[in-house]
């Protein structure tokens, strides 16, 4: 590379310098060499820069002429630098394509796009229906006190109804040697928690995970989701329960669904019911149907009017307030809706299953 010069600026020196610079540039082959060239000619102490600085020593007419030539030269060098850099780009790409066998025309690899788990999808769908009906969505703890999971729901210690829920106790004992903590067996403990922390009117749904010490089979998991519902106010009747749940079934399963309520027992409701919809696979005909096992009906949830003892337990006057509650299993609902035969598929992490949703 030619060293900086202290030649006085003139049209000849500018022309010569431009020629030399362009000639040198055409022989360079790497980005490093380009940078050295740029510093040598256009840098702060580069040849053209120094030449421009020397303009002040010229008389006014000469300065105008040589100054304009010098600026033109600067533009020429910059354009040539840009062009050479683009040429080197192209050459490098061609070399890498031939040497590395890189096919730049191949389409890029597609990034897999994730999606929501089918349980999350159905939980959101269920909560969406209830929020359209005026319910808020709240959540609660999965590790729960015996107090909320059982006692506040009218299931005291020693009550045979405790056998309805096979419980996973947490390894923690209080001073009396009791084990008051557990993995919640249902979302119903949130009924008492919500009522304790707010005043009527109450309309909430509570989605969340539950756990039971259960052998698994096609319809039972040891961990599964529930969606709890609770409405409490003055003057709520069983007709409100039926109307709300009927509308829910219609919106989730379709306009023509029939609904059936039958008596059932839960210690925290009076009266208690289970709710079924007519089987959409066989249109209620039964007759060899795999989904409803010939009954024509599919049970989808437990429900009832909140027991006066539960209302009194949270300090509400059961003479003034009434309410209804319900609890349903979203996986079972998804099984019905999508014809899934085994609940264990939800949590087996088999992508062939999960990708279908």
- Site residues for ligand YSA, 118-147, by CB under 6 A, read none
What's 295's DSSP letter?
Answer: S
Question: Is 203 a binder of ligand YSA (CB under 6 A)?
Answer: no
221 and 344 Cβ atoms separated by less than 8 Å: yes
Catalytic choice (66, 204, 269, 310): 269
Spell out the SS3 assignment of 11-58: HHHHHHHHHHHHHHHHCCCCHHHHHHHHHHHHCCCCHHHHHHHHHHHC
Residue 325 is among the residues annotated as catalytic for this protein:
yes
- Site residues for ligand YSA, 205-264, by CB under 6 A, read 212, 214, 220-221, 224, 226, 228
Catalytic choice (40, 165, 307, 334): 165
Question: Is 302 a binder of ligand YSA (CB under 6 A)?
Answer: yes
Judged by CB, which is closer to ligand YSA: 18, or 188? Answer: 188
Judged by CB, which is closer to ligand YSA: 172, or 338? Answer: 338
Residue 165 is among the residues annotated as catalytic for this protein:
yes
What's the CA gap between 21 and 70, in Å, rounded? Answer: 13
How many H-runs (helices) and E-runs (strands) does the chain carry? 11, 10
Judged by CB, which is closer to ligand YSA: 186, or 203? Answer: 186
Report in angstroms how near the CB of residue 171 gets to ligand YSA at its nearest.
Answer: 22
Place of tokens 């209620």: 284
Question: Is 46 a binder of ligand YSA (CB under 6 A)?
Answer: no
Which helix H or strand E contains 225, and what residues bound it? strand 223-234
Beta strands in 235-354 (DSSP E): 259-264, 269-278, 297-306, 321-328
Report in angstroms how near the CB of residue 149 gets to ligand YSA at its nearest.
Answer: 10
Other beta carbons less than 10 A from residue 281's beta carbon: 13
- Binding residues (CB under 6 A) for ligand YSA: these are 186, 188, 212, 214, 220-221, 224, 226, 228, 266, 268-269, 301-304, 325-329, 331-332, 343
Q: Looking at the annotation, which residues are catalytic?
A: 165, 186, 212, 226, 269, 325
């Amino acid at each position: 590379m030619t060293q900086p010069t202290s030649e006085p600026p003139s049209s000849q020196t500018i022309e010569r310098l431009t020629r030399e610079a362009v000639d040198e540039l055409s022989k360079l082959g790497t980005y490093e060499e380009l940078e050295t060239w740029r510093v040598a000619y256009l840098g702060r102490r580069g040849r053209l820069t120094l030449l421009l600085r020397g303009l002040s020593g010229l008389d006014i007419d000469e300065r105008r002429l040589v100054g304009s030539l010098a600026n033109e030269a600067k533009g020429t060098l910059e354009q040539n630098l840009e062009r050479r850099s683009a040429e080197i780009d192209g050459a490098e790409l061609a070399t890498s394509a031939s040497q590395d066998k890189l096919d730049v025309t191949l389409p890029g690899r597609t990034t897999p796009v994730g999606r929501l788990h089918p349980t999350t999808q159905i939980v959101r769908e269920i909560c969406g229906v209830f929020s359209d009906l005026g319910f808020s969505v709240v959540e609660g703890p999965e590790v729960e006190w015996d107090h909320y999971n059982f006692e506040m729901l009218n299931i005291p210690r020693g009550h045979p109804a405790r056998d309805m829920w096979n419980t996973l106790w947490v390894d923690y004992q209080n001073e009396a040697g009791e084990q008051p903590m557990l993995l919640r067996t249902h979302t119903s403990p949130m009924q008492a928690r919500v009522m304790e922390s707010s005043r009527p009117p109450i309309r909430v749904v509570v989605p969340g995970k539950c756990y039971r010490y259960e052998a698994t089979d096609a319809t039972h998991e040891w961990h599964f989701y529930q969606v709890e519902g609770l409405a409490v106010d003055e003057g709520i009747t069983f007709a409100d329960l039926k109307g709300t749940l009927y509308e829910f079934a219609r919106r989730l399963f379709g306009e023509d669904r029939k609904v059936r309520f039958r008596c059932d027992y839960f210690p925290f409701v009076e009266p208690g019911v289970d709710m079924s919809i007519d089987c959409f696979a066989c249109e209620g005909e039964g007759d060899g149907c795999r989904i409803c096992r010939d009954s024509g009906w599919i049970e989808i949830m437990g429900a009832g009017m909140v027991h006066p003892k539960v209302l009194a337990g949270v300090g509400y006057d059961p003479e003034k307030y009434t309410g209804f509650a319900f609890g349903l299993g979203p996986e079972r609902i998804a099984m019905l809706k999508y014809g899934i035969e085994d609940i264990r598929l939800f949590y087996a992490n088999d992508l062939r299953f999960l990708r279908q949703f």
